[in-house]
Amino acid sequence: MFHGSIPALVTPFSDGTFDESAYRSFIDWQIEEGSSALVPCGTTGEAATQSFDEHFEAVHVCVDQAAGRVPVIAGCGSNDTRNALRNLQKAQELGADAGLVVPPYYNRPSQEGIYRHFEYLASNCDLPIVLYNVPSRTASDILPETIVRLCKFPTIIGIKDATADMDRISAQRAACGPEFCQLSGNDYLALGFMAMGGAGCISVTANVTPRLCADFQKACAEHRWEDALALNDRLYPLHGAMFADASPGPAKYALSKVRPGFPGGIRMPMTWPSDEARAKVDAALALAALSDD
């Protein structure tokens, strides 16, 4: 169902509030530049700083503006299983094509607890679920043996894997089958991830350079590995620069360079990137031939 370059969209804030007009324009640009799907209200979208109403206002706007041109995978995770279900149900009501769901964070449940969390969600809502495994943020790791149990639910269709453990790609492919959609959660590993059977990448960098990321993914899908490598060489410094300071600060700074006038508001506790981080972004944009700085 999902493939290619899928931006984990930043959320534009002006004077501390959601800027709907800027978001609609940003979504159009992403689609026009070749993005294959959109993820509103994930980590990069500052979902952790949004109320339920704000969160799903952004999801609603994303679904409405995409208008069926590309699928929408709405961020739906929570450390409370009942709240995660509420999020999934609301995303389904608004027309999202799937929910992106982390294992419960902070609670640090056992593998059985993680399994039961997703079992409950899959049993009580038929919106497709893309697992999001990002132990560096959640302090919970969905181990391969748990993924094998979960992929038996027909609505658990894939995973955004941000473990940086490349062995898991082949292990999960062998256990769950090639139809189980594996999406890289690390831009800097996307080339290897695709070569090992991945379907695409849920990307931070694609916020800033959707066309290059889409071209890279297309080259991978067509097994044009020399072209993919050349594009990866251009993109690699930018992948690192996106995390030169706390995300999404660098991404929003980079957007201010490539899309002048894009709202740069960031909600506390996130802050505007440091001088050093901005210099890294500037250098990476220049290397990618996205600016003259």
What pLDDT sits at residue 248?
97
> Is the distance from CB of 119 to CB of 153 less than 8 angstroms?
yes
pLDDT tens track for 208-232 = 999 999 999 999 999 999 999 999 9
Question: What's the topology of domain 4-234?
Answer: TIM Barrel (3.20.20)
Q: Give the side-chain half-sphere CA count within 13 A for 213.
A: 34
Q: How far apart are CA 268 and CA 21, in angstroms?
A: 22
Catalytic residue among 23, 115, 160, 218: 160
What's the Cα-to-Cα distance from 189 to each of 141, 235, 240, rounded to whole Å? 19, 11, 11
Is pLDDT of 251 > 70?
yes
Residue 132 bears catalytic tag:
yes
pLDDT tens track for 1-41 = 799 999 999 999 999 999 999 999 999 999 999 999 999 99
What pLDDT sits at residue 291?
59
pLDDT tens track for 47-105 = 999 999 999 999 999 999 999 999 999 999 999 999 999 999 999 999 999 999 999 99
Find the mean pLDDT for residues 250-257.
97
Cβ within 8 Å of residue 53, ≥6 positions away: none
Quote the pTM value.
Answer: 0.96
Catalytic residue among 23, 90, 115, 132: 132
Query: Residues of the chain with pLDDT > 70: what percent?
Result: 99
Q: Is 81 helix (H, G, I), strand (E, B) or coil?
A: helix
Partners of 160 in beta bridges: 132, 183
pLDDT tens track for 258-272 = 999 999 899 999 999
Q: Give the side-chain half-sphere CA count within 13 A for 179.
A: 6
What pLDDT sits at residue 24?
98
